[in-house]
Each structure stands twice: as C-alpha cells, then as structure tokens.
Chains A and B, each alone.
Chain A
Amino acid sequence: MTWLLAFDTATDVVTVAVGRDGVPVATVAVDSARTHAEQLVPAVHRCTTEAGVALDRLDAIAVGVGPGRFTGLRVGVTTAKVMADALGIPVIGLSTLAVLAAPWVAPDREVVSVIDARRREVYWARYRAGPAGPVPAAPEAVAPPAEVAAAVAERGPSAWVVGDGALRHRDLFAATGAHLADAAAAVPGAGALVALGTARLAVAPAGSARALVPVYLRESDAAINWEQAARGPST
C-alpha cells in the first residue's frame, strides 16, 4: 500500500489530498486568496486525519511547484520539503500546469493550461495525452494572454483551455474556437495531484528535499525594479 500526501498552493485555492495507491481517500480545498500560510498546515492535518493515516506512514509527498503566485508557491514548497526531510521520505515536484491539464487530455485532444500571472500576463503550457498523464507539447512560459490565445487558435476547435488564466481572459479565449473549460477546471484538482504524484513515484526516483524550489518563470520583479531605481538620482 502506498500513501501519498499531495498539495498545491500556486493559485488562489489551496488543494490538499491524501492518496492510497493512486486514489484520493481524503481531499480538502480552501479558497484562500492571500492566506496560504494560514490555511495549508491545518488543511494537511485535517486531510491526513480524515484519511486515517499517521504522518509517519506516508511514503512520499507531492507538491505543485508552479508556476503561479510566488508567495503561495513558497508556502507549499517549503512545507513539502521540510515535512519530507523530517519524515525521511521523497518529495515530488509536479508542474501545476500539468496538474491542471491532467484530467482533460485525451488521445484526440490537446489541452492548454493557463494560470493568471497578473500584470497582464499568463503562465501557460500545451499538453497532449501520454501513457502516464499529460506530456508537454510546448514548454512552460509566461506571455501576454493575446499571444497565448493566438497559439490556441492555431490548434483549432479540438483544443481545450483550462485554468484560472483562461477564466480571467474568457472573452479572448472564447474567440479562439477552442473549448473553454468551466470553473471546475480552473484550479489544480486533488485527483490529478494524487494520480500524477503516484505515477511519478513509480517511474522516476524522487528528488532531494533540499534541491526542490518553485518554478517562478519570471525574474525577481523586485530585483528589476531595484536596478531601475538605482539608475535614477540617488538622493
């Protein structure tokens, strides 16, 4: 029996799941805009208690590493790596974009995952069906939504668009002719987290907790701003 704790904090929703042999047995989802640090650990506690599994019985922890909100990502990745290191179990970093796409990819359908990146940009990637979940057909990137919509339009009506970025820019993506998934497909799902985490655990050695970092895709804005300010008058 394989017990997996999985969570994602890259979007406004904190999703936590406990899976047994690849199937979720307990899930908690909290809509928590800016309060991931408050919500995550209590949600993990609720979820493991509901699943009836002691933390020291867990075989691995899977966490969404983004891209997404920087602050949320740091809360999730820090919690996952610290717990995994303390428990002496592997930690698996999952792409939040792949988790979003996982429930929807099919042999005759590509899925474009779009996460709101604020500042008039989105994080996105394109996936097709593979033997153990979604396989990237285009790498993760950050771009203006119109550019992503143009790429979606090229795929034609067989493409699906999912994620909170798709909902935020609904008009733009509706005009592409692609199928626009509803709110249920806007945030990472517990089932996909458990399925992808378990599949990864089976095929690849999990990474070291120390090396796990969020996928930011964007340079530190603060560093860029600082450099711009430093070029101005220094009084």
Chain B
Amino acid sequence: MLVLGIETSCDETAAAVVEVPPGASAPIGLRIRSSVVSSQVDLHARYGGVVPEVASRAHVEWIVPVVADALAEAGVGLDRIDAVAATSGPGLAGALLVGVSAAKALALVAGVPYVGVNHLEAHCNAGWLEQPELGTPLAVLLVSGGHTLLVGVDAPGTHRVLGGTVDDAAGEAFDKVARFLGLGYPGGPVIDRLARTGDPGAVAYPRAMPGTLDCSFSGLKTAVVQHVRAHPDVAVADVAASFQEAVVDQLVSKLALAADAAGAATLVLGGGVAANSRLRERTAALAAETGRAVFLPPPALCTDNAAMIAATGAVRLVADGPTPLDAGVDPGLGLGPG
C-alpha cells in the first residue's frame, strides 16, 4: 500500500510517499519512497521567527509542485496512491488548512481515503522509519520551535505524555535569545555554532523546575537578557555557550527522569532542536551512563517532514478508518493517550 503524506503545520511545505506492508498496525517495516521538504526559512528570517500569514501564503504557492515532486521521486502517479494523509494539528491554523485542503482534494480525485494526522504523534513515530529495531520502551524527547514534550513509548505506535514545557518551547528560546543577541534566525544552528568557541561555564544561567518532568524556558530567556544588559562587555560566544548549556542541562535531566519513569530501554530524540550538537552529545552520554541504547535520528527525520505523516496516516487508517471529508483542523491539538 502506498500512502501520500502532506505536512504544512508550520514553515515547511512537505510531501512524501511511504510504502506500507498491508494491514500494518505499527509504523514498522515501512519504506520511504520519497520525502520532499520546501523550507520557508529565508522568508521568515527578516522577522526573526515564523509569521503565520507569510507561512500560509507560501504554502499555497508551493503545495502543487511539492506534491508533484514527491510523486515523481517515488516514481508513481496519483492513481497508484491508496490513501492521502495530512497534518490536521497542532500547528498554525491557516497553514494547516492548506495541507488539509490539498489532501482532501487529492483523496476526492483519487477516490481513496483521507486521514488527518496528529503532528506530535507523527514525531513520536519518526524514529521507527529509520531504525525498526529500536528496543522498547522508549523515552522520546520531542523538542522543536513549537513543542517540548517527553513521551513514553511502550510499543510501536503507542505513546503516553510524561512531561513538557509549561511556557516557551526550547526552540523558541533559541530563536528569542539569538534575536536578542543579534545573531539572526533561525537561532538554533547559529547558537550551536557560536557556542563551540565559548565557555559553557562562563555564566551560571538558571535551570528551571529541577526534579520534575516539566520544563520552563521563559525565565532563562529573561535571565540572559538581564545579564547581557548588566554586562555589555560579555563575550557573545560565552553567552551562547552558557545559554545552550542551561537549555541542554534542563532537557537532559528531564529526559533522565522520563527514562526512569518509562522504564526506558532506549532514548530517542525528535524535533528540530534534536539537531543541536550539544544535545546529541549529552543524550548519548546519558545513555552510556545509564546503560541504555540511544537513537539520534538524522536531522531530516527530526525536523518537520511528510514521511512521518504518511507513516502515521497508514497506522491510523488501519486503527481508526478514514477521516471524514468534513473534518477540520485543530491548531491546539495535544498528544492524548494512544
């Protein structure tokens, strides 16, 4: 069975074709036939963050060529597609509507089921696409510009939320601090790069909510702003390194607690911030210290992509059946039990 997936929840217009074994009830044994991502990062750079209206307009311009490329790279026509899946939440309302409208239109033309997919559930499933041998239970740290979640996965295709941010997402903190320091957008890669030349112990920024499974980053951002204003001569590389260390410390200490809570055999990272080199290093070290396996997916599977949407759509189609064509989008959708 071939599933076409579409992802437009934020600032990537993406489409992918995934080949699924018949009746697959878990995201295992799937083959990615194509995965096309058109990033709008350059469009949003001048604003220092994703502007919803700008993102929505760009999705309308890119959706047709991105879907066409995904089908062409997979070497199939729409007549070979057995289901069309799209992210229906969470995300930016206007952006989600473009992908969902496109998926419904394609499902109608092809005469196949449409499946609305939870973006967060798809991130939790992404690891299986690259590494089907992951030892369960998993402790997944999903960390991006829009989300910071700790999830326990007892078996492929299931999930339970263990904790998450109470305010900003970790990636949002990177963007805001980078903007304040005049480093440009997106903040993650530039701070990661600059931090390599700085001293992570130069400034003791706070680690919020110790001992709990929840995270907080808004106080950290304020601490950086106040500290730099009070010490205008501080080396920017030291600020970047110390800020990054405070974020990574908090994330890794929460992941350690989550791993214990989940009885995890394997630690898994997901989301755009999972590309951060220090987070990858420290997560691998945590796994080694605690005798667990670790899976750090390649950045293409960590960041928003449509292969994970197609894979999750395939699993949901088997479990729940098609989504009605009169279903809408849910910008505030959470990751419920499943």
Contact = CB atoms under 8 A, between A and B. Distances in A.
A41 B114 CA distance: 11
Given A70-B94, A234-B179, A213 B60 contact: yes
Nearest to B47: A226
A70 B51 contact: no
Chain A contact patch, size range: 35 or more
Given A78-B60, A216-B57, A234-B180, A83 B100 contact: no
A71 B179 contact: no
Contacts of B83: none
A31 interface: no
Interface string B98-133: 101110111011100000000000000000000000
Contacts of A87: 109
B57 A220 contact: yes
A222 B93 CA distance: 13
A41 B94 contact: no
B47 A37 contact: no
A41 B108 contact: yes
B64 A85 contact: yes
Contacts of B93: 71
Given A82-B67, A214-B60, A223-B53, A45 B325 contact: yes
Interface in B203-240: 222, 225
A35 B328 contact: yes
Contact of B109 (A35, A55, A214, A226): A55
A202 interface: no
Given A35-B328, A44-B108, A82 B63 contact: yes
Contact of B94 (A74, A86, A210): A74
A222 B104 contact: no
A27 to B, nearest CB: 18
B51 A226 contact: yes
A38 B327 contact: yes
A223 B105 contact: no
B55 to A, nearest CB: 9
A55 B106 CA distance: 11
Chain B contact patch, size range: 35 or more
B327 A70 contact: no
B326 A39 contact: yes
State the main secondary structure of chain B at its contact with A. Answer: helix
B334 interface: no
Contacts of B325: 41-42, 45
Nearest to B329: A37
Contacts of A44: 108
A86 B47 contact: no
Contacts of A45: 108, 325
A86 B80 CA distance: 13
B105 A82 contact: yes
State the main secondary structure of chain A at its contact with B. Answer: helix
A134 B104 CA distance: 33
B61 interface: yes
Contacts of A37: 97, 100-101, 104, 328-329
A92 B63 CA distance: 18
Contacts of B179: 234
B101 A74 contact: yes
B48 interface: yes
Interface in A118-176: none
B312 interface: no
B2 to A, nearest CB: 15
A48 to B, nearest CB: 9
Contacts of A108: none
B54 interface: yes
Contacts of B263: none
Contacts of A38: 326-328
A35 B325 CA distance: 12
Contacts of A82: 63-64, 67, 101-102, 105-106
Interface string A76-90: 011101110111000
B49 interface: yes
A75 B97 CA distance: 7
Contacts of B98: 74, 78
B68 interface: yes
Contacts of B327: 38
Interface string B59-97: 111011101100000000010000000000000011001
Contacts of B56: 70-71, 74
A86 B81 CA distance: 12
A40 B102 CA distance: 12
Contacts of A216: 57
A227 B53 CA distance: 13
Contacts of A227: 47
Given A38-B327, A45-B325, A220-B57, A86 B51 contact: no
A226 B49 contact: yes
A79 B101 contact: yes
Contacts of B60: 74, 77-78, 213-214
Nearest to B48: A230
B63 A78 contact: yes
The list of the 5 closest CB pairs from A to B, nearest first, reads: A222-B53, A220-B53, A82-B105, A41-B104, A78-B101
6 contacts: A45-B325, A71-B97, A74-B59, A77-B60, A86-B106, A234-B225
